[in-house]
Structure 1
Amino acid sequence: MNLLAPVDYNCAMNTHNYVNFFRQTSPYIHAHRGKTFVIAISGESILAPNFHSMIHDIALLQSLGMRVVLVHGARPQIDQRLQLSGITPLFEQHIRVTDSDTMQCVKESVGCTRLIIETELSMGLPNSPMHGSHIRVIGGNFITAKPVGIQEGIDFQRAGQIRRVDSEAINYQLQSGALVLVSPVGFSPTGESFNLSYQDVATKIAIDLTAEKLILISQPRGVVDGDQLLRTLSLAQVAELQETTKDLQQAELLSAASLACHEGVERVHMVGYEEDGALLAELFTREGSGTLIMKDCEEVIRPATIEDVGGILNLITPLEESGVLVKRSRELLENEISRFSVVVHPEGLIIGCAALYPTTNKAAGELACVAIHEEFHGQGIGARLLEKVEYDSKATGISNLLAMTTKTAHWFIERGFIEVKVRDLPENKQSMYNYRRNARIFSKTI
């Protein structure tokens, strides 16, 4: 920190907002760290005004501990090179017919585009987002390809299909902390090179790496239906859209997303390139900025495991600090983790939890540590979590649930709890009751 730097009072006034922003994004950062993201950027996005910021945002993901494979397209760049060479682009079945002259333009365009991206990732000027990043960008012959061949009488010549991805080599580079940059060109054992679809390359890499996310930055926005941006889509909804969409580019992206999800990629994000910061907004805010595609669009309620301890602590610590919940140490939480149920967002974040504790009365159990992330209040998640706890309680012979609260009495009353006295508690709970906290006690027959 430069103590002699001039004070920006507007910035100082917004410090609280910045602090809140980091606190709100920290669960996403924890959830994404160490995960593999395959990011595909179209040639159109590279020509967009926000390209520099977009590359810097991708570099930020790398700095935050995400394993990044970046695949780039080059269609408009190739078309421009062909035009300068006096060659008319030819497409059949949505595939570029690639003769030797066209392939030369492909090589030149792809090479130039790759250098532009590497240059941006190598920037390190003071007062720039890239200062101190020191990102190592690695490329190589990771893609083995074969010719598309002759289809319906058309010889596609040097247009190719992916034969194999050297996922072991890519993983090795990711493990070493490098950002892997892959171009849409593949190579054959005979020494030939082939023009590939960057979407196919990104999808195949994501599948073979079992990546947590495939991110497609290829359109001005995410998936749109008319003028409406669709925030989340299940695979069934994707299939419906594939049958009705008239947008060729969107159809190609939906096909890539569907294939990736069916083959084991957990999440596919379709993000626009027009809005500055769209990638970060998609990954680090609840609302997102594009379209999230996944097999299951609903939150999952399940028993907690030891791996959930960190997420639960992130969730309950603010409530403990404000006095809503009783403080629990990490050690205590680890010892009692089998008593907890958690609500897991489709993005993998823990957004809710509750614990069920036994009492000396075998027919009674205590519902405790009920917490829902503030961004998800009002969506019925707490009610569904309560239903799950009640179901589990009945399965163990419990017919009466007890709860203590200092702040949320109305929530329990609205869900069938009635207020009782300390003397109505089982003996072990009476002896442990904290009169200084003076929590209200509620009971519900289930």
Structure 2
Amino acid sequence: MTAQTVNNDSAKPQQRFEDLRGILRYVPQFRQRVFVIAFDGALMTQPGFASLLQDVAVLQSLNIEVVLVFGARAQVRALAEKRGITLYNDDGMGRTDAAGIEIAKDAIMRQCSDLMADLTALEMPVAISNALAVHPAGVIDGVDLEFTGRIERVDEESLRALLKADIIPILPPLGYDGRGATLRLNSDAVAVEVAIALRAAKVIFVAESGITAADGTRLEQLSVAEAREMHKRKDSKHDVSMLSKLRYAALACQEGVPRVHIVDGTQDEALLAELFSNEGVGTMIHADDYQQIRKARSSDVPALLSMMQQSVDDAALVPRTRDQIQSKIKDFFVLELDGNPIGSVAVHAYEEDGRKIAELACLFVRRSHKNKNHGRKLVAFAEEQARLRNCEVIVALSTQAFRFFEEKMGYTVTGPDALPLSRREKYDKSGRNSKVLVKSLKQSGGPT
């Protein structure tokens, strides 16, 4: 799957909450699942941070088990400047000397205190956890990283005990080795190692900015390979903090975390909008098949009728009854996005004079999900299904989308005579005067 972009204007959260029922459908999926939320330290100094914590409270109220991790890069840098100390690094990835670890301890423990106070004010029970067993990172590329640490293991039992008691664990980017030394950690690494240990459903990085493509549009999805490639290229458009998130997001997915989200924490309601809408407002790095096309089931019929209604009202689709869909249910396929149906296509097969012809029918995508290549994916899938049925050609009838079939999918406008005889009779009776489009299936190829 290739990286997908979306126009920034369409990513505004206020457009994502038109229907409360649409939000509530996610609750059963998320209940009792572990979400590790890691936010950049710079966000803690911004006015919108209180709203972010309120969103965390909402998640906990829905019986989602939340673990919080925070970064400290901005705070460490600010304190060092105030004290006139020069740092080798401020994000827990490079060398941390004796002066640097003192700055880090002071800044991070102040953050812990402030965060505890803010969460307590929201009546959320929280606890600072030392569930990380760490060791010095050692010498890398000839440089002794001194007080920079690496995570050796995560005390899963202690974290689960807190979660079972409805207490939110907070893990700062500090750890303690077997000799009692305090070591600086990278918060992205902390979040991912904890998520792997707890077999979390999601890691959500709430960052100072989002991930964008070269043209400035939001990158909606990335595969693990694409995230690794972006990190490897070290694109100057994304700072070291974002590159770190891409690196650890890929690692999380590789080690069993299904999805990692990177959202712009400066955007209002970004956390909830990302989690409780199909398309989200951030970037999702995925390990599983986020989008899938499957055979329709009888239980899908009500959803299909509901989704089709707007297209029927617009005269783009022929009206169909529940019984008509049910009688042909084996010909229907549903496109799911994050477990929710967003589109459909049907493939009907005819045999005439020893020749098999397929008809692509009932192609539609929810209006809120148009212009995201879902239609192309459904058409390509339908063509492959027709090939599997040994059909030589595929036809499609369209009153409004014929340009799409011609220009995007390689179909040719023809006449009604291209239709099988039984289908031609229905065509004549309908009076819709649809364009008839045809495509040969003899060429190799399949879904893209």
Q: What TM-score do you get using the length of structure 2 for normalisation? A: 0.68
Tell me, yes or no, if the aligned pair for 1:299 and 1:343 is still in contact at 8 Å. Answer: no
| CA–CA separation in structure 2 for the residues paired with 1:91 and 1:187 | 20
Bigger drift between 207-216 and 161-170 goes to 207-216
Q: In structure 2, what is the equivalent of residue 391 of structure 1?
A: 384
| CA–CA separation in structure 2 for the residues paired with 1:267 and 1:79 | 31
Of residues 203, 216, 219, the one that matches 1:228 is 216
**Correspondence 1:273 to 2:273:** no
Q: In structure 2, what is the equivalent of residue 60 of structure 1?
A: 58
Tell me, yes or no, if the aligned pair for 1:28 and 1:349 is still in contact at 8 Å. Answer: no
Of residues 65, 74, 77, the one that matches 1:76 is 74
| CA–CA separation in structure 1 for the residues paired with 2:48 and 2:331 | 48
Q: C-alpha displacement at 1:373, in angstroms?
A: 1.5
| CA–CA separation in structure 2 for the residues paired with 1:60 and 1:419 | 56
| CA–CA separation in structure 1 for the residues paired with 2:299 and 2:198 | 27
| CA–CA separation in structure 2 for the residues paired with 1:245 and 1:19 | 34
Aligned length: 404
Q: In structure 2, what is the equivalent of residue 351 of structure 1?
A: 342
Q: How does 1:25-64 map to 2 (within 5 A)?
A: 25=23, 35-64=33-62
| CA–CA separation in structure 2 for the residues paired with 1:108 and 1:173 | 26
| CA–CA separation in structure 1 for the residues paired with 2:229 and 2:435 | 48
Q: Which residue identity lines up with residue 202 of structure 2 in the other structure?
A: K
| Percent identity of paired positions between Structure 1 and Structure 2 | 26
| CA–CA separation in structure 2 for the residues paired with 1:197 and 1:91 | 14
Bigger drift between 362-371 and 253-262 goes to 362-371
Of residues 144, 151, 160, the one that matches 1:162 is 151
Q: C-alpha displacement at 1:40, in angstroms?
A: 1.1
Q: What are the superposed Cα offsets for residues 224-270 of structure 1, whole Å, 9 maximum, x if unpaired?
A: 56782542444336524643434333333333233334444343333
SS in structure 1 at match of 2:118: helix
Structure 1 residues 354 and 97: alpha-carbon distance in aligned structure 2, compared to 1, 3 A threshold: same
SS in structure 2 at match of 1:20: coil
Q: C-alpha displacement at 1:44, in angstroms?
A: 0.9
| CA–CA separation in structure 1 for the residues paired with 2:330 and 2:114 | 52
Q: Which residue identity lines up with residue 120 of structure 1 in the other structure?
A: D
Q: C-alpha displacement at 1:213, in angstroms?
A: 3.1
Q: In structure 1, what is the equivalent of residue 443 of structure 2?
A: none
| CA–CA separation in structure 2 for the residues paired with 1:237 and 1:19 | 29
Structure 1 residues 226 and 442: alpha-carbon distance in aligned structure 2, compared to 1, 3 A threshold: closer
Where in structure 2 are there 5+ consecutive unaligned residues?
A: 1-13, 406-410, 441-448
**Correspondence 1:251 to 2:243:** yes
Q: In structure 2, what is the equivalent of residue 302 of structure 1?
A: 293
Tell me, yes or no, if the aligned pair for 2:173 and 2:185 is still in contact at 8 Å. Answer: yes
Q: C-alpha displacement at 1:46, in angstroms?
A: 1.0
Q: What are the superposed Cα offsets for residues 101-149 of structure 1, whole Å, 9 maximum, x if unpaired?
A: 765654454333233333333445xxxxxxxxx6443553321111223
Structure 1 residues 122 and 403: alpha-carbon distance in aligned structure 2, compared to 1, 3 A threshold: farther
Tell me, yes or no, if the aligned pair for 2:80 and 2:87 is still in contact at 8 Å. Answer: no
**Correspondence 1:90 to 2:87:** yes
Q: In structure 1, what is the equivalent of residue 132 of structure 2?
A: 143
Tell me, yes or no, if the aligned pair for 2:35 and 2:64 is still in contact at 8 Å. Answer: yes
Q: What TM-score do you get using the length of structure 1 for normalisation? A: 0.68
| CA–CA separation in structure 2 for the residues paired with 1:19 and 1:419 | 44
| CA–CA separation in structure 1 for the residues paired with 2:349 and 2:157 | 49
Structure 1 residues 417 and 278: alpha-carbon distance in aligned structure 2, compared to 1, 3 A threshold: farther
Q: Which residue identity lines up with residue 88 of structure 1 in the other structure?
A: I
Q: In structure 1, what is the equivalent of residue 114 of structure 2?
A: 116
Structure 1 residues 275 and 259: alpha-carbon distance in aligned structure 2, compared to 1, 3 A threshold: same
Q: C-alpha displacement at 1:197, in angstroms?
A: 1.4
Structure 1 residues 153 and 300: alpha-carbon distance in aligned structure 2, compared to 1, 3 A threshold: closer
| CA–CA separation in structure 2 for the residues paired with 1:109 and 1:370 | 57
Q: C-alpha displacement at 1:55, in angstroms?
A: 1.5
SS in structure 1 at match of 2:47: coil
Q: C-alpha displacement at 1:183, in angstroms?
A: 1.9
| CA–CA separation in structure 1 for the residues paired with 2:24 and 2:277 | 10
Q: What are the superposed Cα offsets for residues 425-445 of structure 1, whole Å, 9 maximum, x if unpaired?
A: 49xx99xxxx9x999999887
Structure 1 residues 150 and 198: alpha-carbon distance in aligned structure 2, compared to 1, 3 A threshold: same
Tell me, yes or no, if the aligned pair for 1:139 and 1:180 is still in contact at 8 Å. Answer: yes
Q: What are the superposed Cα offsets for residues 320-340 of structure 1, whole Å, 9 maximum, x if unpaired?
A: 5977664559xx97x997654
| CA–CA separation in structure 1 for the residues paired with 2:38 and 2:306 | 37
Tell me, yes or no, if the aligned pair for 1:315 and 1:373 is still in contact at 8 Å. Answer: no
SS in structure 2 at match of 1:145: strand
| CA–CA separation in structure 2 for the residues paired with 1:366 and 1:174 | 53
Q: C-alpha displacement at 1:374, in angstroms?
A: 1.2
Where in structure 1 are there 5+ consecutive unaligned residues?
A: 1-15, 125-133
Q: Which residue identity lines up with residue 386 of structure 1 in the other structure?
A: V
| CA–CA separation in structure 1 for the residues paired with 2:284 and 2:341 | 18
Q: Which residue identity lines up with residue 343 of structure 2 in the other structure?
A: G
Structure 1 residues 104 and 23: alpha-carbon distance in aligned structure 2, compared to 1, 3 A threshold: same
Q: C-alpha displacement at 1:394, in angstroms?
A: 3.9
SS in structure 2 at match of 1:228: coil
Q: In structure 2, what is the equivalent of residue 199 of structure 1?
A: 188
| CA–CA separation in structure 2 for the residues paired with 1:83 and 1:239 | 34
Structure 1 residues 403 and 75: alpha-carbon distance in aligned structure 2, compared to 1, 3 A threshold: closer
SS in structure 1 at match of 2:18: helix
